[in-house]
Amino acid sequence: MKKIGIIGGTFNPIHLAHLYIAYEAKCQLNLDKVIFMPAGSPPHKKNERILEASLRYKMVEEAIKKYEDFEISNYEIEKKDFSYTYETLEYLQTKDNELYFITGADCLINIEKWKNPDRIFKISNLVVFNRPGYDKEQLKLQKNEIEKKYNTSINFLDIMDLEISSSMIRDRIKEGKRIDFFISKEVLDFIKKIIFIIIVKILKSDESTMIFKEKIYA
């Protein structure tokens, strides 16, 4: 029986915290591999400006290519409608694997509002990492309530709090600030190639923002 981790997200863009979390989950839970699942049309972000799926997929591909135990799936980005977690887990489930769904503290608080949470808990083991600003005691209470209600077991990752987010990186690009502290060289090189798309289409900035390109990536 193989132990498979799944970490999903829009990865808009993928950053070092994503890689760190996936690595720690693999080590702490003895996972055989971790699958990165870029979201296609996440229902909770339908009003957010998101880079097109093919570019986000390529960024993740670049970020994980040197890690032999990390893989990427295009299941969600190939879907034409919204991507629901329980459907993704059902797609990945086989008789030969045990799934570990890796997610943040914010999702633990709200997961019962997701579509078919009972299926999520039946198909997978929930693995939760903390985020800055979330009370650990509140998370423990939520963990206990969910475990009792759904007859499941939830794992907490023991990791450092890294205050890195995709929205922060997008803001820094818009402000002409360096981002190379927060993303891998492979992702940085790819962003350089598509910076015009990011600035004009995603950040709603005009072309004059391009003058910051050398400053951002110096």
Question: Mind listing the domains of the chain with CATH numbers?
Answer: 2-156 (3.40.50.620), 166-216 (no CATH)
> Which are the contacts of 132, defined by CB distance < 8 A and separation ≥ 6?
161, 163
Res 129: pLDDT: 95
Angle at 10 between CA 56 and CA 218, to 5 degrees: 55
The count of C-alpha atoms lying within 13 angstroms of the C-alpha of 43, restricted to the half-sphere facing its C-beta, is 9
Q: In whole numbers, what is the pLDDT of the chain averaged over residues?
A: 88
The token pair that represents 176 in the structure block:
């002409």
Res 210: pLDDT: 46
Res 192: pLDDT: 85
What's the pTM?
0.88
Phi then psi for residue 61, to 5 deg, are -55, -45
Res 158: pLDDT: 94
Largest Cα–Cα distance in the chain?
56
The count of C-alpha atoms lying within 13 angstroms of the C-alpha of 127, restricted to the half-sphere facing its C-beta, is 27
The label of the residue with tokens 């009370």 reads 135
Regions of the chain where pLDDT drops below 50: 47, 207-212, 214-218
In one letter, which amino acid is 165?
A: S
Query: What does R_g of the chain's alpha carbons equal in angstroms?
Result: 18
Res 57: pLDDT: 96
Res 162: pLDDT: 84
The token pair that represents 210 in the structure block:
């391009």
CA distance 8 to 77: 11
Phi then psi for residue 38, to 5 deg, are -65, 135
Q: Are strands 33-38 and 124-129 parallel, antiparallel or unpaired?
A: unpaired
The token pair that represents 29 in the structure block:
């839970």
Res 209: pLDDT: 47
